[in-house]
Amino acid sequence: MTSHTLSVRLLGRFALLDGPAAVAMPPGTKRVLGLLAVRGGAMGRSQAAGMLWPDVTEARARACLRSALIRLPPAARRVVRVTPTELALAGSVPVDLHVGQELARRLLDPAALPAEADLGGVAMAVLAAELLPDWHDDWVVAATEAWRQLRLHALEALAVHLAAARRYGQAAEAALAAVAVEPLRESAHRALIGVHLAEGNRSEALRQYNQYRRLLAAELGVEPTAALHQLLATPGTQGAVTPW
């Protein structure tokens, strides 16, 4: 029988993967494994129970945790370490969120040039993916916001790196992914406008600026910053920056 590598997917949707195949798990055990994978370290059983079942008594939460651990499928038992007082994900188990966090930090490191693998489509797909989008626990909401902020900065940095390498199509894709995550974020639009300007497409840059200007006016009643306007206010183009 072939032995596959186990991994945990948190981006896009949850899955415990045994090689390419998803392992079937009851909802309660998914939440236990999801919490451990997001946290990435050992945690007390009482703390885990309280975070997973916050609306019941402590005794009931601990009972729910025991039930979920008993129902772990064999594959999950290989990745969850259980002691009388603590739970942890086995350190050797890859988690796509952690891979994405490491990728983002590399892209944001001003002292390092990104490797080719950090500029490809796989990297972009990781950064474009949401963390557990269908989960709404308080601990998920906090982790989701931290990942959202990190990946926004990383997508913008990726766009800059790709534009510097003259890979303008991919650079625009990275910047558009950042815009899709947060449509009102000026730095994401600045990254996209910068890509258009680097490629020599001033009309595209102006179109993007005016589209963003209309969005800000409709949603917030404000104008883009002077810094964004100045990016386009060069001889021969300033008059083309129109109100609408």
- The domain spanning residue 114 has which CATH number? 1.25.40.10
Together in a domain, 77 and 196: no
Share of the chain above pLDDT 90, in %: 87
- Structural domains counted in the chain: 2
Q: What is residue 234's predicted lDDT score, i.e. its pLDDT?
A: 60
Q: What is residue 242's predicted lDDT score, i.e. its pLDDT?
A: 30
**Gap between the Cα atoms of 208 and 211, Å rounded:** 5
Q: What is residue 241's predicted lDDT score, i.e. its pLDDT?
A: 32
The pTM (predicted TM-score) of the whole model is: 0.88
Together in a domain, 168 and 52: no
Together in a domain, 77 and 59: yes
Domain interval for residue 230: 96-240
List, for the chain, all residue ranges whose pLDDT scores fall below the cut of 70.
1-4, 234-244
